[in-house]
C-alpha cells in the first residue's frame, strides 16, 4: 500500500479562521500521517489561496461563486490542479466525500450546521469546533452520529478537556459512570473585573481583545458576554448526556485548567495545558494516540497560581439565558442562538450596545415559538423566525 493510502484525508471547514489555521499547523507537522482533501472559507479568498498553494488540497470551497472564479483563475495561473467550488451544497459534498476520513468542523455560527451534519451522517470522524451544530440541532445531530457510527470528538478546549477526564464510554447518563458533576471553566473574558457602568460603554474593539485566546470577532464577543460559555453548557449536555444541573461554570482567569469532571467518590480530574487550540486539535486528529501539537509543556512554576470564582450572572446575563433555554428545551436553544448571532453582528456594526445583546436575546426568547426539533427543516424555519424577530428589534432600538 502506498504511503498516501496510509494517510488520513482531512477536510477543514473554515480553514482560514483561528481553529482552521491551527489545524493546518498541526497537520503540517505530521506529513506522513495526514493529507488535506479540502479547504473551505467564507470570503477570505486571498488567505484560502495561500493555504491552497501550501497544502495542495484536491478541492477548495468559497461561499460566493465570483470569489470561487477568482480563486480558480489564480490557482490555474500557479499551475495547481485544485478543484474550486462554491455554495452550501459544495461544503456538504466535501464533508461527506467517500475518500475523506476526518472533518474539522470549524465554521463559526449556524452556517456550520449543515456541513457538520453531513459529515456525521456520512460516518466520518467529526472534530466538532462548531457549537451551533449541537445548540441548534442536538437531538438530530446525536441521532445521526449514532445511526452512522461516526466518531464525534469535541475540539472546544473545555469539551475536549472533559472528554479526556471521562471514562472512554460515558453515554447513558453521568451517574451511571460514577460522575457527579462537570466543571466547565471560563476565563471570564476581558470585562470580568469591570463595573456595570464600565460594561455599559464597552466598544467592539475592547470586546474582541480576549486576554488569553486568539479568536475570531464573533466568538470573542460571545466570550465577553459569557454567551460562549452558555452555548458550551448546552453543547456539553448533548455531548456528555448531562443535564444543565450537572454542569457548573467556574471562572478561572488563567485558562490553564480547561475543565474538570467531579466523581462520586470525591475525586476531581482536570485537564491542564497552555491556552493553545493546537492541543485539542492534535488530540482529535490522532485519537486515541497522542502526537506533537507544537505546544510547550505547561510550566507550573511560571503559572504560579490558579484562581477560581463564581460567574456573575447579573453583569453577564447571557449565561443564565442559555441555561434556561436548555432547561426549557424544544426550540429555545435555536432561538437563543439565532437572536444572539443577530445581536452580536449589530454590536460589531455599532448599531447595538454591549449590554443590549443580552436584553435582545431575552426579549426574543420571551416570545411564543412553536415547533419541535424533529426535522432539520423545522430547526431552520425557527432559526429564520428568530432572526427576523431580532432584526426587527435591532432596527427599532437603533433608530
Kindly list the structural domains of the chain, giving each domain's residue range(s) and its CATH number in brackets, ordered by start.
Answer: 3-154 (3.40.50.720), 156-313 (no CATH), 329-399 (1.10.1740.10)
Q: Check residue 209 and give its pLDDT.
A: 83
The Cα–Cα gap between 253 and 188 comes to 6
Residue 1 has pLDDT above 70, yes or no: no
Identify the weakest region by mean pLDDT among 101-115, 257-271, 311-325.
101-115
Tell me the CA end-to-end span of the chain in Å, nearest whole number.
65
Does the pLDDT of residue 5 top 60, yes or no?
no
Q: What are the DSSP calls for 85-144, one per residue?
A: EESHHHHHHHHH-TT--EEEE---SGGGHHHHHHHHHTT-EEEE--THHHHHHHHHHHHH
- pLDDT(272) > 60: yes
pLDDT at 56: 97
What number is the average pLDDT over the span 316-328?
96
Return the C-alpha cell found at 134. Answer: 449541537
The label of the residue with cell 464600565 reads 198
The pLDDT of residue 75: 97
User: Residue 4: is its pLDDT beyond 60?
Assistant: no
Q: Say whether pLDDT at 151 is over 80.
A: yes
* Mean pLDDT calculated for residue range 175-193: 93
- Residues 6+ away with beta carbon under 8 Å from 98: none
How far is 100 from 19, CA to CA, in rounded Å? Answer: 19
Q: Computed from CA positions of residues 220, 222, 226, 230, in that sequence, does the dihedral angle turn out positive or negative?
A: negative
Q: Is the pLDDT of residue 13 over 70?
A: yes
Tens digits of per-residue pLDDT, 336-353?
999 999 999 999 999 999
> Which segment of 3-7, 311-315, 325-329, 386-390 scores lowest on mean pLDDT?
3-7
Would you place residue 149 in the very low, low, confident or very high pLDDT band (cuts 50, 70, 90)?
very high
> Who's near 67: CB < 8 A, 6+ residues apart?
43, 45, 86
> Pick the residue with more confidence: 384 or 213?
384
Per DSSP, the chain holds a count of helices (H) and strands (E) of 18, 11
State pLDDT tens for residues 237-247: 999 999 999 99
2 has pLDDT over 70: no
**Mean pLDDT across the stretch 258-285?**
97
Q: What is the mean pLDDT of residues 200-225?
A: 85
Distance separating alpha carbons of residues 256 and 298, to the nearest angstrom: 8
- Give the chain's length: 399
Task: Report how far residue 391's alpha carbon sits from residue 397's, in angstroms, rounded to the nearest whole number.
Answer: 10
What band does 131 get if pLDDT is binned at 50, 70 and 90? confident
pLDDT, the chain, mean: 94
- pLDDT at residue number 320: 97
Residue 71, burial from CB neighbour count under 10 angstroms (0-12, 13-18, 19+): buried
Statement: residue 214 has pLDDT above 80: no
Amino acid at each position: 500500500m502506498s504511503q498516501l493510502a496510509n494517510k488520513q484525508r482531512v477536510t477543514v471547514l473554515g480553514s482560514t479562521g483561528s481553529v482552521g489555521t491551527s489545524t493546518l499547523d498541526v497537520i503540517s507537522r505530521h506529513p506522513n500521517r495526514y493529507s488535506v482533501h479540502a479547504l473551505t472559507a467564507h470570503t477570505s479568498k486571498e488567505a484560502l489561496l495561500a493555504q491552497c498553494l501550501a497544502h495542495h488540497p484536491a478541492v477548495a470551497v468559497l461561499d460566493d461563486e465570483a470569489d470561487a472564479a477568482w480563486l480558480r483563475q489564480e490557482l490555474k495561473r500557479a499551475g495547481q490542479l485544485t478543484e474550486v467550488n462554491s455554495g452550501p451544497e459544495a461544503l456538504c459534498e466535501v464533508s461527506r466525500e467517500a475518500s475523506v476520513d476526518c472533518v474539522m468542523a470549524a465554521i463559526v455560527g449556524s452556517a456550520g450546521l449543515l456541513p457538520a451534519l453531513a459529515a456525521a451522517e456520512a460516518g466520518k470522524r467529526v472534530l466538532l469546533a462548531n457549537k451551533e451544530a449541537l445548540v441548534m440541532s442536538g437531538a438530530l445531530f446525536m441521532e445521526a452520529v449514532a445511526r452512522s457510527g461516526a466518531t464525534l470528538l469535541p475540539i472546544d478546549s473545555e469539551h475536549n478537556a472533559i472528554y479526556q477526564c471521562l471514562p472512554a464510554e460515558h453515554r447513558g447518563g453521568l451517574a451511571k459512570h460514577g460522575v457527579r458533576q462537570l466543571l466547565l471553566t471560563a476565563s471570564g473574558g476581558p470585562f470580568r473585573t469591570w463595573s456595570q457602568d464600565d460594561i455599559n460603554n464597552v466598544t467592539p474593539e475592547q470586546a474582541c481583545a480576549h486576554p488569553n485566546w486568539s479568536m475570531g470577532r464573533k466568538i470573542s464577543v460571545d466570550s465577553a458576554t459569557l454567551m460562549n460559555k452558555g452555548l458550551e453548557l448546552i453543547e456539553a449536555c448533548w455531548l456528555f448526556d448531562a443535564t444543565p444541573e450537572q454542569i457548573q461554570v467556574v471562572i478561572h482567569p488563567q485558562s490553564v485548567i480547561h475543565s474538570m469532571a467531579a466523581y462520586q467518590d470525591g475525586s476531581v480530574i482536570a485537564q491542564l495545558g497552555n491556552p493553545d487550540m493546537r492541543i485539542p486539535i492534535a488530540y482529535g486528529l490522532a485519537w486515541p494516540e497522542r502526537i506533537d501539537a507544537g505546544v510547550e509543556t505547561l510550566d507550573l512554576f511560571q503559572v504560579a497560581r490558579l484562581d477560581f470564582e463564581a460567574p456573575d450572572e447579573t453583569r453577564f446575563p447571557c449565561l443564565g439565558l442559555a441555561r434556561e433555554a436548555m432547561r426549557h428545551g424544544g426550540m429555545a436553544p435555536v432561538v437563543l442562538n439565532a437572536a444572539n448571532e443577530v445581536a452580536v453582528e449589530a454590536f460589531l456594526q455599532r448599531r447595538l450596545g454591549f449590554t443590549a445583546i443580552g436584553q435582545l436575546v431575552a426579549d426574543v426568547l420571551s416570545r411564543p415559538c412553536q415547533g419541535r426539533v424533529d426535522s432539520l427543516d423545522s430547526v431552520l424555519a425557527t432559526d429564520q423566525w428568530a432572526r427576523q424577530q431580532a432584526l426587527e428589534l435591532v432596527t427599532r432600538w437603533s433608530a
